Amino acid sequence: MTIREVQDEILRLKKEKNVCILAHSYQTHDILEIADFTGDSYLLSKKAAEVEAQEVLMCGVRFMAETVKLLSPDKRVILSSPEAGCPMAEQMDREMIECVKEKYPDYTVVAYINTTAELKTVCDVCVTSSSAVKICSQIENDHILFIPDCNLGQFVASQLPDKEFKLLQGGCPIHAAVRPEEALQAKKLHPNALLLVHPECVPGVSALADYVGSTSGIMDHVRDSNADEFIIGTENSIAQHLQFAYPDKKFYLLSKGLLCQNMKATTLIDVLHCLQGSAGEEIELPAETIRQARRCIEKMIELGG
């Protein structure tokens, strides 16, 4: 089958079976083309709460599929590739955060959405990279324990100097591996390009950037900018999607290492097999986990707007 034929069959099956496909922007172009909704993790969370279809196929990583299940517990939710986890989401578990909370009883626990459903049960509110500053600014408590990403946490803290943040040593191994020297080198090679980076990058990289924001934030920034050249400091698929969308502009990779194997675990053929019922994993969570964990996702949507 050609790519087009596979896509046509996916579109046919999705309609026949009334399945909604959500795809994170880090998925490949051929998957984004057949998805009902694509975007960053905030947009996907909001769509997860709204979709009418009884079955949702998440092309992304496990915490994203869990978020759909938390918000729509009665729906059948399928993760496109069972092995697609997010290493950051596995870095801290519930027991560890319960111990930390005992040390900081007066702090509001803000969890990056890149966490397990189990960990979310002991947190107060979730944030995504695009909503973190807005949500943290609206929290009444000035003391915030931000987990697990210390780089995103530090970025948010820099935007909200009146609040006190406690950070732990977690983060995205892919974004955090980019060194400030690479950013300086890229800027030297492309002096006319704007550097746009994800806040999961280390503060030394974010400090050199012209814009720091989520995957959708970076794409929107390009859309709204008059500049012709950009260095893209997030998963490399974003540079590719942007090149398709804006063929007259130039996009450079900040680092060839910005490749998330987990986000790339899903292929177009996997999507077809999921719809045929021979691939994917149905997400199942204990009722008590759903009850406790969904509070902080709902709070995020309430405060994030």
Token code pair at residue 249:
């502009």
Amino acid letter, 246: Y
Q: Which x/- pattern, by CB under 6 A, does the window 169-208 give for ligand 13P?
A: ---x-------------------------x-x--------
- What are the backbone angles phi and psi of residue 222, rounded to the nearest 5°? -65, -45
| Contact characters 59-98, ligand SF4, x per CB under 6 A | --x------------------------xxx----------
The strand ranges marked E within 114-223 are: 125-127, 143-147, 164-167, 194-197, 211-212
Query: Is residue 66 at the binding interface for ligand 13P, with CB under 6 A as the rule?
Result: no
The token pair at 207 is: 């400090």
**In the complex, least distance from residue 276 CB atom to ligand 13P, rounded to whole angstroms:** 28
Write down how long the chain is.
305
Task: For residue 50, count other CB atoms closer than 10 A to its CB.
Answer: 10
The single residue among 91, 151, 214, 236 that binds ligand 13P, judged by CB under 6 A, is 214
When asked if residue 147 is in the footprint of ligand SF4 (CB under 6 A), the reply is no
- Rounded distance, CA 80 to CA 263, Å? 10
- Pick out residues in 31-50 that bind ligand 13P (CB under 6 A): 40-41
Q: Which lies closer to ligand 13P via its Cβ, residue 72 or residue 128?
A: 128
- From first CA to last CA, the distance across the chain in angstroms is 43
Give the three-state DSSP class for 100. helix
Q: HSE of 56 in the Cβ direction (CA atoms, 13 Å)?
A: 27
Number of residues that bind ligand SF4 (CB under 6 A): 13
Name the phi and psi angles at 161, rounded to 5. Answer: -65, -15
Residue range at the interface with ligand 13P (CB under 6 A); choices 91-99, 123-131, 157-165, 176-184? 123-131
C-beta separation of 29 from 243 below 8 A: no
- Residues 121, 129, 151, 237: which binds ligand 13P (CB under 6 A)? 129
Residue 214 touches which of ligand SF4, ligand 13P, none (Cβ within 5-8 Å per kind) = ligand 13P
Contact positions with ligand SF4 (CB under 6 A) in 161-190? 172, 174-175
Distance of CA 251 to the CA centre of its chain: 21
Binding site for ligand SF4 (CB under 6 A): 61, 86-88, 114, 172, 174-175, 200, 235, 260, 262-263
Binding site for ligand 13P (CB under 6 A): 40-41, 114, 128-130, 172, 198, 200, 214-215
